[in-house]
Structure 1
Amino acid sequence: MYPVRSNKKQTRIDDRGRPLRAASSHAVLASLRDQIARLDDGARLPTVRELMRSHQVSQATVQEALTRLREEGLLTSQVGRGTYVVKDGDAAVNGGADTARHLDSLLILSNASLNERCMLVQNHIVGHLSRTGSKVVQISYHNTGHLLDILTSVPDFDAAILQSHYENIPIRLLHLLQGKTRALVVDGNSVAGVDIDRVGTDWEEALDLALEHLSELGHRSIALVSLDSMAQPILSVRRAFDRLGRRHKAGWEHTESIALGGVLHPTQRVGDALKTALGALVDRHGRLPFTAMATLGISDSLGIRQCLTEMGIACPRDLSLVVLGHHDVPTEHFGFMSMAGSSYLAAARSLIEVIHKRIAAPREAPQIVYLDCLAEFRDSTGAPSR
C-alpha cells in the first residue's frame, strides 16, 4: 500500500502561534530578527525591494514579515523615509513606561531641510512613544511664516519639540508653541536668552577634541570649514577657533577659518562651494597651506570626500579630516571619517526626559542640557606627510 497523500495545505506558524504565508516567511523573519539584533537603535533597514532581492521572495512575504516585526515593537516605519530599528533602553532614563504614559500627545516640528541626524532623533522618539500609546504628530515646514499659519489651526498638545540647529527662531513662534503645550523643548542651541528648555551639543568641546587629536598626530596648521551661517553654534565655534589661531603660544603655525559661500543648511551639497574655497588656497603644486581640516554643520560628508578626490587631495596623506558631528549617524562618517561630537540617540533620550521633567515640575527654571561629546578616530586622519 502506498501512503495516502493529503491535498490539504499545511499552514506554518511563527513562534507566537500565528500563521505564516509560506516557509520563506519564516526564513525572512528569522533573518530580519538576526539583522535587528546586530544593528543599533535607529538604524535603517534595507528597502522592501532590496529585501525581496536578497531573500528571493515576493513583496507580500517581505511586507508580512515587516508587519509582524512592527507589531512586536522591533521596527518603526515612516512613509517616504524608511523602516528603522527600535530597541528598548529608555525605561531607566525616563522613569519607566508608567511615566511615559502621562504624555498623551507630542508635536515635533522640523525644517524641511532636516538631516539624517534629525530624522533618526524623530524616529527613535516616535518608536518609543508609540509603544506607550502616545500620539505623535510631525510637521515639516519650509518657512516659519507658513508654520505659524498652520499652528493657529492645530489643537493643543501635551508637549512639543522644535528641531532647530542653524536657523533663527522667531519669538512669535516660541510664544505660540508655549501657549499650545505644557512642555516645549528645543532640539539644538539656536536660541539664547529665552525661558525655554533646550538640548544641544557644546560644539566648542567637540572642536577641542578634534584639535587635541590632530595636535597629537603632529599637525600644526589647520582649517575650520563651516556653513555660511550666523547661527549661534557656528559663530561661537568660529570665534573660539580664531582666538586659538591668534595665540602663538598654542603652537599652531597656520589657521584658516572658511565659511562656504551659499551653503546655508547642513543638507546642502558642498562640493562646488568647497572646491571654490580650497581652489583659491592651493599653491602651484596643488598643496594647501594647512595639513588638517575640521568641518562643522555639514552633513554632506560624501560630497566633501568626492571634492577632495577630484582635486587630487588624498586623506589622510595630503589632508587629515575631522567631522564635527554625530558619531552614531552612519551617513556622517561612512565608516571612514574621524568624528568629534555627540550622539543622536543621547539627544532623543534627553528630549524625552526633559519633557517629562517639565510636565512633572512646570515651575522649575528652564534647563539647558549639553550632550556628552566623544571622539571616534578613523582612516581620515593621520600624521602629516610634510
Structure 2
Amino acid sequence: MKKSSGEDELAAWLRVCLKAGRPGDRLPTMRDLMKRFGVAQRVVERVLKPEIAAGRLVSRRGAGVSIAEVVEKQTEYDADLLILYRLSESRLANTLLQELEQRLKARGIDILKLGYSSEDQAQAVMSRMGRFRCCLIQLHFETLPIRFLAALTAHADSIVLDGISATGIGLDAIGTNWREPLALAFRRLRGAGHSKIAYFTSGHPARQIAMARREYERLCAAEGLESWLLETDALPGGYRSSDLVDSLTAQREADGNLPFTALIAWGVVDGYMLDRALRDLEIVPGRDLSVVVLGSTDFPSEHLRRFDVCGNRNDEKIDLFERFVWSRVQGEGPPPQIHYLPVHFVEHGSVVDLTD
C-alpha cells in the first residue's frame, strides 16, 4: 500500500522529535496528531508502533505517548579498580602502590588489591572474581604472557601497567625509558672528563633492562671507549651489598685500583646498600670513584643526597598514575598509549670533575 503524504510527514516529524526531544517529553495526543497531519488513527498507530517496539517511545494508558528514558545496561563490577602486583623486595614499587591507593580511595574509588608470586596463582584467584573498570598491574620487570594478558582483559575494561616492558597491545604503560637517564649520566661524566666509565646493572632479559645495557655498549663504542659492563643476576630492588662488592672486586687490578674512574649504577634502589658496599671496599665516592645512581631523584633513600642521581621523579610518576587510572575508571581518556616520565639530573657531590 502506498503511503499517504500525511503519513510520510508524520514519520519525518517523529524522527526529528526523537532526535531533538528529551526523555520524558510527551507527544501530542492521538487526536491532535490525526488533525495535524490529516491522517486516520490507524496511520498514527502504524507510525508509532515500531518506535514503541524498539523502546524509543513509551505508551501508557491515560498518560499518552512519551519519549523513553534511556536506561543503559549496567555491568556489575566487583570493584572500580583491581591493583595486581607481583610480590617483590622493591621498597620503591611498594611505596608507589601505597601512595596511589590512598589517593584513589580519597577520590571515592573502590579498590581490590591482590599480590601474587606467579601468573598461575593470580589467574586461579581471578577466575573466582567478576569484572573491574580498570586493572593496575605491577610486573616488576617480569614478562606479561599472552594468556595472562587475555585473563586480565576478560576481567577489566582497561589495563594500566607500571613500567614499559609491554607496549603496543592496547594498554596504558607508564614508566621511564632507562636509556635516556643512562645516556644523560654518561654525557655528564664525559663532560667532567671521564673516559673510563663502568655500568653496574641487572643481567635480567627484561626489555628496558636489556635496552639500557645495549645503550651503554653503544655509547662506549660510538666514542671509542672501553666498556665495563658489570651485571648481577638479581632484579632491580633485589640487589645485595655483596653483589656490588663482588663485581667491583673482580675488576680490581694488581695494585688494588679500579681500571675505571666512574660508575653508573642502576637498580640499586637502596642507597644505604650502595654506601655500605663502597665502604667495605674502602672506596670514597667523589674522591676514589665518581658515582651516578639511576633512580628516583626525589626518593632520598635511593641516593641519600650523597650520590648524584639521574632518572624520574617519584611524585611525577604517582601524579601520572593517579590521573590515568582515574580517567580509565571513569571510562575516559585518549586511546591507550605509552607515557614516558621526564628525566632529571640532581648533583649531590659524588662526581669529580677531571677537567680541572
- Tell me what 1:371 maps to: 341
Partners of 2:201 and 2:236 in 1: CA distance: 9
- Kindly tell me: are residues 229 and 205 of structure 1, through their superposed partners in 2, closer, same or farther at Cα, counting changes over 3 Å? same
Q: Cα 1:219–1:363, aligned 2, differ >3 Å: closer, same or farther?
A: closer
Q: Which amino acid aligns with 1:286?
A: G
Query: 2:236 corresponds to which residue?
Result: 266
TM-superposed deviation, 1:114: 4.7
Partner of 1:348: 318
Distance 2:333 2:354 in 1: 54
C-alpha contact 1:183 1:355 (8 A) present in aligned 2: no
Tell me which amino acid in the other structure corresponds to 1:379: G
Moved more, 356-365 or 274-283: 356-365
**Pick aligned residue for 2:301 from 324, 328, 331:** 331
> Do residues 174 (structure 1) and 149 (structure 2) align?
yes
Distance in 1 between residues matched to 2:120 and 2:329, nearest whole Å: 28
The residue that corresponds to 1:290 in the other structure is 260
**Structure 1: distance between partners of 2:294 and 2:202:** 12
Query: How big is each residue's C-alpha offset from its partner over 1:280-314, in whole Å with a ceiling of 9 and x where there is no partner?
Result: 21112211111111112222332222112111221
Q: In 2, distance between residues paired with 1:147 and 1:298?
A: 28
Q: Structure 1, residues 25-65: CA drift from partner, whole Å, max 9, x if none?
A: xxxxxxxxxxxxxxxxxxxxxxxxxxxxxxxxxxxxxxxxx
The one-letter amino acid paired with 2:167 is A
Q: Which letter does structure 1 place at the counterpart of 2:313? A: S
Task: Give the structure 2 partner of residue 109 of structure 1.
Answer: 84
Aligned counterpart for 1:237 among listed residues 212, 219, 222: 212
Q: Give the percent of matched residue pairs that are identical in Structure 1 and Structure 2.
A: 27
Distance 1:269 1:360, change over 3 A: closer
Cα displacement (A) at 1:356:
4.0
CA distance in 1, matches of 2:315, 2:205: 27
Report how far residue 362 of structure 1 moved: 6.7
Q: Is the 8 A contact 1:105 1:159 kept in 2?
A: yes
Larger Cα Rg: Structure 1 or Structure 2?
A: 2
Contact 1:319 / 1:384 at 8 angstroms: preserved in 2?
Answer: no
Structure 1 residues 141 and 164: alpha-carbon distance in aligned structure 2, compared to 1, 3 A threshold: same
Conservation of the 8 A alpha-carbon contact between 1:245 and 1:255: yes
Whole-angstrom distance in 1 between the partners of 2:135 and 2:192:
44
The equivalent residue for 2:274 is 304
Superposition deviation, residue 254 in structure 1: 2.8
CA distance 1:131–1:326, shift in 2 (3 Å): same
How far, CA to CA, are the matches of 1:363 and 1:177 in structure 2? Answer: 20
| Cα distance in 2 between the residues matched to 1:286 and 1:320 | 17
Unaligned runs of 5+ in 2: 1-77
Helix, strand or coil: the match of 1:148? helix
Distance 1:270 1:163 in 2: 22
CA distance in 2, matches of 1:277, 1:122: 32
Deviation at 1:193, TM superposition (A): 4.2
TM-score, length basis structure 2: 0.73
Secondary structure (helix, strand or coil) at the match of 1:332 reads helix
Q: Report how far residue 255 of structure 1 moved.
A: 2.2
Pairs aligned (count): 279
- What residue in structure 1 maps to residue 229 of structure 2? 257
CA distance in 2: counterparts of 1:134 and 1:322, whole angstroms = 39
Q: In structure 2, which of residues 178, 182, 187 is the aligned counterpart of residue 203 of structure 1?
A: 178
What is the one-letter code of the residue matched to 1:233? Q
Q: What displacement does 1:330 show?
A: 2.1
Cross-structure match for 2:44: none
Amino acid at match of 1:282: R
Q: TM-score, normalised by structure 1?
A: 0.67
Secondary structure in structure 2 of the residue aligned to 1:254: coil
Whole-angstrom distance in 2 between the partners of 1:311 and 1:293: 14
1:94-243 to structure 2, matched below 5 A, reads: 105-243=80-218
Q: Secondary structure at the match of 2:228?
A: strand
In structure 2, how many angstroms separate the alpha carbons of the residues matched to 1:212 and 1:244? 9
Distance 2:246 2:96 in 1: 33
Letter in 2 for 1:321: V
Structure 2 Cα separation of the partners of residues 321 and 224 of structure 1? 10
Write the letter of the residue equivalent to 1:299: V
Distance in 2, Cα, partners of 1:363 & 1:379 = 42
Mapped partners of 1:131, 1:360: distance in 2: 15
CA drift at 1:352: 2.6
1:361 to partner: Cα distance? 6.0
CA distance in 2, matches of 1:185, 1:329: 23
Q: How do 1:18-33 and structure 2 match up within 5 A?
A: none
CA distance in 1, matches of 2:355, 2:114: 49
Q: Could you tell me which runs of 5 or more consecutive residues in structure 1 were left unpaired when the two chains were aligned.
A: 1-102
CA contact (8 A) 1:185 1:198 kept: yes
Correspondence list, 1:36-51, <5 A? none
Code of the residue aligned with 1:257 in structure 2: it is: L
The reply on whether 1:383 has 2:353 as its aligned counterpart is yes
Give the deviation of 1:359 after TM superposition: 5.3
1:209 maps to a residue whose letter is L
> C-alpha displacement at 1:319, in angstroms?
0.8
User: Counterpart amino acid of 1:136?
Assistant: I
